Amino acid sequence: MRLGLRWTRLCFLVTLLPLAEALSSFLASPRAKSWLGGSVSPTPLPGLLDDLFEHQLVVDLTLTTARVEIALHDGSSVGFTTRAYDGKVPAPTLVVTPGDHLIFNITNALGRGLTNRTSIHLHGLHVGNDGIVVEPGESLTFKFTIPSHHPSGTFWYHPHVHGLINSQLGGLLAGALVVLDRPGDPPALRDHACDHVLLIQAVCAVDCHHAHDELAHAIQAPMMDPRRQFFVDVQSNSSGLHVLVNGASVPVLDVLPHKWTRLRYINAIANSIVEIANPPPPCMTLLLARDGITKPNWTPLVEAVVLPPGSRADLLIRCPPTVAEITVDRNPARTGNLGHHHRVQSQPLMLLRVQGVELNSMEPPKWPQPSHVSLPTYMRAPTSTQLQRNCSFNYAFTANDTAMSTFGVNGEPFRHEAVDTLVQGVPQLWCVCVAHPEQHNHPFHVHGTHFYVNGEWRDTIPVLRSTERVW
Ligand SMILES: [Cu+2]
């Protein structure tokens, strides 16, 4: 390992704070703060019932133009003008509990123009109401109620105006959203001092392999506005796609030795799969949750964790004192399943610095297991008798990378108003594939619900050659 050299170069970088310590910079509902063990006692607004106040998070976000300067781990840098909430990249992390009311007051303070329209989408949450556009100069309030039976887990939010998603996500407009574990759910997770939110984004100035990954191209959105009225002004001496964790290039993550620590990975990159290698042995890694859904059993993760755009994975790690690099590992062994394109190239992701008071170092590591996972009744795994032989719906997606106009479903160009009617509560089999896969995988994502595929609940999966049987 080349850690000695790398370490001296990296020591200027930011250190990531765990969820509980970073509380002051997060936006959390009063109940979420009390669940996190915070001593915060905010004052309710006059006239607002204490109970309602407890369960409410009001998030004021103003969408403005921001200048972003990022020092990359290899000594190069990238600076660009983009759209950001309150001028910050990434957007604030939101922390709520099941049953909370999440209220966004969104002011779009950008200049006029098609590419400056925006909206808010809560990725993975079982709530609706995300198709409403906030025009430039407009302010709108969005109220989401997270059902009290909603799964606890790792989610995120971003704008979702059709045709502008690559532009606004590629410009780093995204933030993490955590629905806290209920008291009494997985006991190993109650220690929020060992709980880290890691929002993964990426920037590329030149040599990006795909035009839509290039910062200037993405942010200007020439398909929507050929005149490119949004001024981006990229200055960079870097090349290739560089990953960021919470807005920083290869930050340091401090964890305690021999203590189970949760890493909440979120792939907020617009187009690319990220394959994250586990911390090297003797660190242990367990897969705790996928796409915000805690697994019924936590088992060691042998392979890297593969995150298509939008997907999340929660890991539990436990290490002796060490300094280790956690890397993006674009492994050719996965090319058969993932294809050649839209995969972040291998590079360091962050440094794991395991130091401090050694806890029970002599004790052999036991794998923690969830004692109980609260899931809504509609998320019971389908039984074999429920499995139908025939597809209720067939969806073959055309995802030709070179010509946006060929995006479509079942041979038809994409139409926003196309509707397939589903019956609520009735399981159905969807058969999903990419029509002409070649080497391009494409993420498949459903809003407002999870689906059951290959034995687990997901809301975003990569699809390449094979037809996935999706429940
Ligand atoms: Cu989504």
Longest dimension (CA), the chain: 65
Q: In angstroms, what is the span from residue 348 Cα to ligand 1's centroid?
A: 27
Q: What's the pLDDT score for residue 353?
A: 94
Rounded distance between C-alpha atoms, residue 315 and residue 305, angstroms: 9
Q: What is the pLDDT of residues 228-252, one digit of tens each?
A: 889 999 999 999 999 999 999 999 9
Q: In angstroms, what is the span from residue 310 Cα to ligand 1's centroid?
A: 7
- Residue 127 has φ and ψ, to the nearest 5°, of -135, 160
Q: Which two tokens stand for residue 127?
A: 């709530």
Better-scored residue on pLDDT, 418 or 332: 332
Q: What's the pLDDT score for residue 74?
A: 92
Q: In angstroms, what is the span from residue 459 Cα to ligand 1's centroid?
A: 8
Residues around ion ligand 1, judged by CB within 5 A, are: 123
pLDDT at 388 over 80: no
Rounded distance between C-alpha atoms, residue 232 and residue 218, angstroms: 10
Q: In angstroms, what is the span from residue 159 Cα to ligand 1's centroid?
A: 10
Average of pLDDT values for 391-410? Answer: 69
Q: What's the pLDDT score for residue 469?
A: 54
pLDDT at 8 over 60: no
Rounded distance between C-alpha atoms, residue 216 and residue 82, angstroms: 9
Q: What's the pLDDT score for residue 364?
A: 62
Q: What's the pLDDT score for residue 468?
A: 55
Average of pLDDT values for 315-320? Answer: 93
Better-scored residue on pLDDT, 364 or 458: 458
Q: Given CA atoms 164, 168, 170, 173 in this order, what sign does their dihedral have?
A: negative
Q: What's the pLDDT score for residue 262?
A: 92
pLDDT at 116 over 60: yes
Q: In angstroms, what is the span from residue 249 Cα to ligand 1's centroid?
A: 25
186, 152 Cβ separation under 8 angstroms: no
Average of pLDDT values for 156-169? Answer: 93
One fold for 19-183 and 384-470: yes
Q: In angstroms, what is the span from residue 129 Cα to ligand 1's centroid?
A: 12
Better-scored residue on pLDDT, 159 or 46: 159
Q: In angstroms, what is the span from residue 204 Cα to ligand 1's centroid?
A: 23
Q: What's the pLDDT score for residue 41?
A: 43
Q: What's the pLDDT score for residue 317?
A: 93
Domains of the chain: which residue ranges? Answer: 19-183, 194-354, 384-470
Average of pLDDT values for 333-358? Answer: 89
Q: In angstroms, what is the span from residue 327 Cα to ligand 1's centroid?
A: 26
Q: What is the pLDDT of residues 264-292, one digit of tens each?
A: 999 999 999 999 999 988 899 999 999 99
Rounded distance between C-alpha atoms, residue 65 and residue 219, angstroms: 11
Average of pLDDT values for 441-456? Answer: 87
pLDDT at 375 over 50: yes
Q: In angstroms, what is the span from residue 1 Cα to ligand 1's centroid?
A: 38
Q: What's the pLDDT score for residue 215?
A: 95
Better-scored residue on pLDDT, 410 or 63: 63
- The segment with the largest mean pLDDT, out of 156-165, 192-201, 411-420, 431-440, is 156-165
Q: What's the pLDDT score for residue 40?
A: 41
pLDDT at 466 over 70: no
Which of 5-9, 131-135, 211-215, 362-366 is predicted least confidently? Answer: 5-9
CATH code assigned to 194-354? 2.60.40.420
Architecture label for domain 19-183: Sandwich (2.60)
Q: In angstroms, what is the span from residue 229 Cα to ligand 1's centroid?
A: 28
Class for the domain spanning 384-470? mainly beta
pLDDT at 176 over 60: yes
119, 159 Cβ separation under 8 angstroms: yes
Q: In angstroms, what is the span from residue 197 Cα to ligand 1's centroid?
A: 18
